[in-house]
Amino acid sequence: MRKECGNNYKDSWPKLVLRKWFNLKSRTDEFHSDYTTRRGAFDGVNERRKSCSDQGRYVFVQDDVSEEWLIEAPDCQRPRCDPGINGDILNQRMFVGTWNVGGKSPHEDLNLRDWLHTPAPADIYVLGFQEIVPLNAGNVLGAEDNSPAAKWLSLIRRALNSTEKDTEVRVNYSCATSPECEQQQIMKPRISFSDLLSLEADFDPEDSDHRYSTSSSGSSLDGSLTGDRNRYCLAASKQMVGIFLSVWIRTDLNRHVSNLKVSCVGRGIMGYLGNKGSISISMTLHQTTLCFVCTHLTSGEKEGDELRRNFDVMEILKKTKFSQSQSQRICGQSFSPENILEHDKVIWLGDLNYRLTATTRCGAGGDTHELLKKNDWQALLEKDQLRLEKRAGRVFGGWEEGRIYFAPTYKYRANSNHYVVQTLQSKEKRRTPAWCDRILWRGEGLKQICYVRGESRFSDHRPVYSVFSVQIDMVANKNKVKRPTKLPNCMAKILAEEQYVLTS
């Protein structure tokens, strides 16, 4: 992250390399958000120009003031629900999407509405990207390139907040192959995402305490989508090399968000650098703790590469930490999760890179090719590494994934609907099609409504998304106990065995 005001000092190249090489903690807790505070409200909060827009401002948040900055509460307490509400549960819709964009920066005309379209708009959007920049030495070892992230944020904001009528937007994803989604499509007409958004009641800016940002001029990267007309605002976004995660919420929900925190874990070169790894965003909505983990795991089709991916997952679970803020330590606030598994509800998304087992690739990939031509996804899924490793108890114990009714999402030829299937005649870098892009979850009160893929040919991956119904506690649960932070004994044993295999 580059500083754009104050002193314009930039770290020298050797210092940047050393910091990344030795995984030195440097600004990893910082993130971008639309929220703003009143000037002078809190020490340690620096207002700066947005790095993701030429207009407006954003708040640079340090970990020890995050919830203070969000709720502006003088008594160190989180916002409370109306006293007349006792034990209520709020049902919210959550859209979760992941997309490996292959190192390509988006063009201004890229239409995200087809990807973000659902039969009804969500209350929360969680959007994770991988390879938003090429994973070359300059980007991995050098200064972070924030310009693609700025473009993605602008396109997302435009898609979520557009009020223009667009009746010709088509739903071009493979939802029809999912029984749940097929039934949903029969019951509800296919209208555009922007039409559905326009049904939302306009938000009263007086209710927001002006905690979200507005443009400082009449124009911005997002066109006319500024200020009070935004139905969705950016709760938090974070970039680590090519991994990029953003969380968007309905603007009228911002008063109920607290404890926003970010944690990054590098699992790339030497097991430390950020070309692979995870970004995790932790937040509390009303009285429910949520965690979103966007990952890009180790690639490779060789036998044993799945063990490296398993090890990545274990290391991410172990090393992701959300430290308590100063106000929590001083005021003794209620429980705040310190790691991924302590949250009430967790979503894990990204390019997990699990492939098909070698038995599927007989000869020159004949079996895979035939099954692909027959659209026999269930037969191919029997060889899916993630399913096999999960069933064997070697990874993601206690996590859930919905049924897959869509085609493999990787690897496609450039701007084509054809796979780069492994053949002896192919001169391209050979890749066997696989379901690399996945969404998993854990926690009570999460119900998956849909699990589908998009059909954009922008990269060699197809985007994937899921819609969830999420139960949010409106009042604090006095019986809530801190979850164990240690891995179960069986998982610790598997972790030790896999580490031995990888180092032997």
pLDDT in tens, 117-155: 888 899 999 999 999 999 999 999 999 999 999 999 999
With a cut of 50, say whether residue 324 has pLDDT above it.
Answer: yes
Least confident of 11-25, 102-116, 349-363, 420-434: 11-25
Which of the four pLDDT bands, split at 50, 70 and 90, describes residue 476? confident
Q: Which of these ranges, 211-220, 292-301, 384-393, has the smallest mean pLDDT?
A: 211-220
3-state per-residue secondary structure call for 319-336: HCCCCCCHHHHHHCCCCC
Higher local confidence (pLDDT), 190 or 159 = 159
Q: Which is more confidently placed, 5 or 232?
A: 232
What's the pLDDT band for 343 if we cut at 50, 70, 90? very high
CA–CA distance, 484 with 339 (Å, rounded to integer): 10
Mean pLDDT score, 209-237: 55
Considering only CA atoms, which of 249, 247, 187 is closest in space to residue 450? Answer: 187
Residues 147 and 53: their CA atoms lie apart, in Å, by 9
Average pLDDT over residues 225-245: 85
> Is residue 438 within 8 Å of 480, Cβ to Cβ?
no
Secondary structure (3-state) at 205: helix
Q: According to the model, what pLDDT value does residue 117 have?
A: 81
If you average pLDDT over residues 65-91, what whole number do you get? 47
The reported pLDDT for the residue numbered 230 is 82
User: How much is the pLDDT for 29?
Assistant: 72
Give CA–CA dist 419/361, Å, rounded.
14
Return the percentage of the chain with pLDDT > 70, whole number.
60
Q: Mean pLDDT lowest for which of 100-104, 110-114, 208-212, 329-333?
A: 208-212
* Per-residue H/E/C for 335-362: CCCCCHHHCCEEEEEEECCCCECHHHCC
For position 118, what pLDDT does the model report? 84
Q: Euclidean distance between the first and final Cα of the chain, in Å?
A: 37
Q: What structural domains does the chain harbor?
A: 13-503 (3.60.10.10)
Q: Is 480 exposed, middle or buried (0-12, 13-18, 19+ CB in 10 A)?
A: middle
Please give the pLDDT value at position 481. Answer: 57
Condensed to tens digits (0 to 9), the pLDDT of residues 146-180 reads 999 999 999 999 999 986 554 333 334 344 445 55
- Check residue 232 and give its pLDDT: 96
Question: Which pLDDT does position 204 carry in this prediction?
Answer: 41
Reported for 300-309, long-range contacts at CB under 8 A and 24+ positions apart, including other chains, are: 300/353, 301/355, 301/431, 301/432, 303/358, 304/501, 305/355, 306/354, 306/355, 306/385, 306/389, 307/498, 307/501, 307/502, 308/502, 309/352, 309/353, 309/354, 309/385, 309/395
pLDDT, one tens digit per residue, over 258-282 is 999 999 999 999 999 999 999 999 9
User: Is residue 425 scored above 80 in pLDDT?
Assistant: no
Whether the ω angle into residue 411 lies within 30 degrees of 0, i.e. cis, is: yes
The C-alpha atoms of residue 492 and residue 486 are separated, in whole angstroms, by 9
Residue 224 CA: distances (Å) to CA of 142, 221, 227: 35, 9, 9
pLDDT for res 218: 34
CA distance 341 to 430: 37
pTM summary value: 0.73
User: Residue 50: exposed, middle, or buried by beta-carbon count in 10 A (0-12, 13-18, 19+)?
Assistant: buried
What per-residue confidence (pLDDT) applies to 426?
Answer: 57
| Structure token pair of residue 241 | 């090399």
Centre a 10 Å sphere on the Cβ of residue 209 and count the other Cβ atoms it contains.
14
